[in-house]
Structure 1
């Protein structure tokens, strides 16, 4: 596990996924046997690695990635490095014959993402890219609504994501400073359009065209040492995605927005027979028979409490941590020798959407995914 000293790699992948699976005795198979896991922690900071290993009773840690990849007992390589370091490390793992599971984006460009996919195919290894949001309770409830035909004909999707990330002077920033430097692989479009691609294509339909605007609202921030730096990466993106089936998706993503909704991300889905608003955990619905009839009257305050007219989808199933749930699926796929559903090719499609988003913002026009695949839009940001 490479890069687990970082916030996401540590909390979600090491502690809440792999160590939780280990401490529960592994994954139980139909025949009663178990897939057991034990991590080897890899990184550059020996002091941090040693402290994590001691804290969580992990026997093996190292700053030598090549040595870890040479260990025949470790059949899987996981990458949670900064984006700019990812491609080289994954290529080493593929060359060593390891199955690979990685955070996204898989690379900083479509070409490098495709390079990883081609290398994995040639090596015949199982490969997967984190698609954690599909495993969240709110989106799993939304998936059930879609499968049941609740919406009728889908019309549109509206997504709101983000929160205020402090600049670092008034209060410490909640995110690493590299996220706001383009030269270090930062940027809202690069980070989040990979997420929006897999959410949209797996729930509503593949993206066919994009109109987007990427901006840097906060031009100066302060790093972990309190030093000011220029924020060269976009910290917000506003996009319209045209999906197959004439569905329109609008998604606003911002690290310079204050939250006035129930969850940090919410998707409103509207159809002819009903609507839903899904977040990380909750999902509220309003079917056609419960839809009110508002009347526009700017002279009088409304007498309707619109939010009270929605019903909460019940928690009638047990939902595990989304990161752990996908880890378990990946481990089962490796055990069975079958390809993971969300592979490096899915990662490439996410990067194609990133390319389209940046091209649209840069050129001030609608960009089709066919243009991106034909190489007509140039490189990312």
Structure 2
């Protein structure tokens, strides 16, 4: 247990928490640093640890691992973390650190997870867990064979907007759900006159880039867990921006898809269509929105908010192209109230996973769930290539 961990608990008048050593890899990147390190692990430490079902607390004690010693040292100092290293093998060999986490690039993930699992570590990672379903299955099965607990980040399910939407679904608010319409994305600058908001590898197929591989992994767990298991998929991809500029200001060929237009048939009969694009300028409520239409009501959920419209409050528009529209369609929806406090979604899932590790609480989002995401992405790419619908078979454990 580090001195900072003792101090954080003592300052809040809390008993000394139990230590949990975590090897954290890939935290110098945007997602790993902001969501997993700063807003999750560092925030948990500052609040005195994770509360267990029996009221005790567990304090994560991370060691930051990567290739850039200067970045690691700076991050560690800024967030009161005592340990960092460029020696991954050495970190995995330490029996006092029992969990391995990875938020690095997709192409590195399989080998890192394999090393950690063979070292006896519980593993937690970003998605996709691989770029090939067969390889993803191998790593999920290896974790099961070795008896290590494992998890994959499924952050969208923890978003306040989608949690409110789930509350409506569980209450039977929609009647029979007919369709789901998703819009995701924003304009990622090319990098010539304005710096790009995403790393250049995202736009090179050889480096594991592409929006289909990235986002269909998300849409699989969102659709499966909220609306019904995905039965089939039709997907069209595109590379709308063929040339981009990298972190050094040099132009490169964008070989990966930067947009995907996918339709899904769901168990129960609902149809879902989700547009994903890094070449779109949004005019909607949020960077991602899901509209759900049912026989009794509809709803639109964004990252944090959710709006509803019941059949009794549905306006009756009349098509007349000769006069301006008289209905303010935004004004006819009601906002779902914030009846509870929603923590950062990445942090909330981290806390759930830590409870699973320490107290063996129930946990659904294991690596086999990550396999399903890779499967749908792979089928999406195949559908684009072959220009046809494809069934989504059950994944065998």
* TM-score, reference length from structure 1: 0.96
* Equivalent of 1:136 in 151, 159, 184: 159
Helix, strand or coil at the partner of 2:231:
strand
Q: Does 1:243 align with 2:266?
A: yes
Matched residue, 2:8: none
Q: Does 1:94 align with 2:127?
A: no
Offset at residue 239 of structure 1 (A): 0.6
* Equivalent of 1:219 in 238, 242, 260: 242
The one-character-per-residue Cα deviations of 1:159-197 (angstroms, maximum 9, x if unpaired) are: 000000000002000000000001000000000000000
Q: Distance in 2 between matches of 1:117 and 1:340?
A: 15
Q: Does 1:283 align with 2:306?
A: yes
Q: Is the 8 A contact 1:126 1:337 kept in 2?
A: no
Q: Distance in 2 between matches of 1:54 and 1:268?
A: 43
Offset at residue 30 of structure 1 (A): 3.9
Helix, strand or coil at the partner of 2:181:
strand
Helix, strand or coil at the partner of 2:275:
strand
Helix, strand or coil at the partner of 2:60:
coil
* Equivalent of 2:173 in 150, 159, 170: 150
Matched residue, 1:43: 66
Matched residue, 1:171: 194
The one-character-per-residue Cα deviations of 1:11-43 (angstroms, maximum 9, x if unpaired) are: 000000001111111012243321111110000
* Equivalent of 2:224 in 175, 189, 201: 201
Q: Distance in 2 between matches of 1:234 and 1:142?
A: 30
Q: Distance in 2 between matches of 1:340 and 1:33?
A: 19
Distance 1:57 1:103, change over 3 A: same
* Equivalent of 2:79 in 56, 70, 73: 56
* Equivalent of 1:331 in 333, 344, 354: 354
Matched residue, 2:285: 262
CA RMSD of aligned residues (A): 1.1
Helix, strand or coil at the partner of 2:341:
coil
* Equivalent of 1:79 in 74, 81, 102: 102
Offset at residue 339 of structure 1 (A): 5.9
Q: How many residues align?
A: 373
Q: Distance in 1 between matches of 2:35 and 2:191?
A: 24
Matched residue, 2:252: 229
Helix, strand or coil at the partner of 1:299:
coil
Q: Is the 8 A contact 1:126 1:339 kept in 2?
A: no
Helix, strand or coil at the partner of 1:75:
strand
Helix, strand or coil at the partner of 2:97:
coil
Matched residue, 1:321: 344
Q: Distance in 2 between matches of 1:182 and 1:210?
A: 21
Helix, strand or coil at the partner of 2:247:
coil
Matched residue, 1:379: none
Q: Is the 8 A contact 1:126 1:338 kept in 2?
A: no
Q: Distance in 1 between matches of 2:252 and 2:52?
A: 51
Q: Is the 8 A contact 1:40 1:60 kept in 2?
A: yes
Q: Does 1:21 align with 2:44?
A: yes
The one-character-per-residue Cα deviations of 1:109-128 (angstroms, maximum 9, x if unpaired) are: 10111011010000111100
Matched residue, 1:67: 90
Matched residue, 1:378: none
Q: Does 1:12 align with 2:35?
A: yes
Offset at residue 150 of structure 1 (A): 0.3
Q: Is the 8 A contact 2:258 2:279 kept in 1?
A: yes
Structure 2, gaps ≥5 residues long: 1-23
The one-character-per-residue Cα deviations of 1:319-364 (angstroms, maximum 9, x if unpaired) are: 0000000000000000123563101100011011011101110001
Offset at residue 51 of structure 1 (A): 1.1
Helix, strand or coil at the partner of 1:175:
coil
Q: Is the 8 A contact 1:135 1:323 kept in 2?
A: yes
Q: Does 1:369 align with 2:392?
A: yes
Helix, strand or coil at the partner of 2:26:
coil
Offset at residue 219 of structure 1 (A): 0.4
Q: Distance in 2 between matches of 1:336 and 1:37?
A: 14
Q: Is the 8 A contact 2:53 2:359 kept in 1?
A: no
Distance 1:140 1:282, change over 3 A: same
Q: Is the 8 A contact 2:297 2:308 kept in 1?
A: yes
Helix, strand or coil at the partner of 1:36:
strand
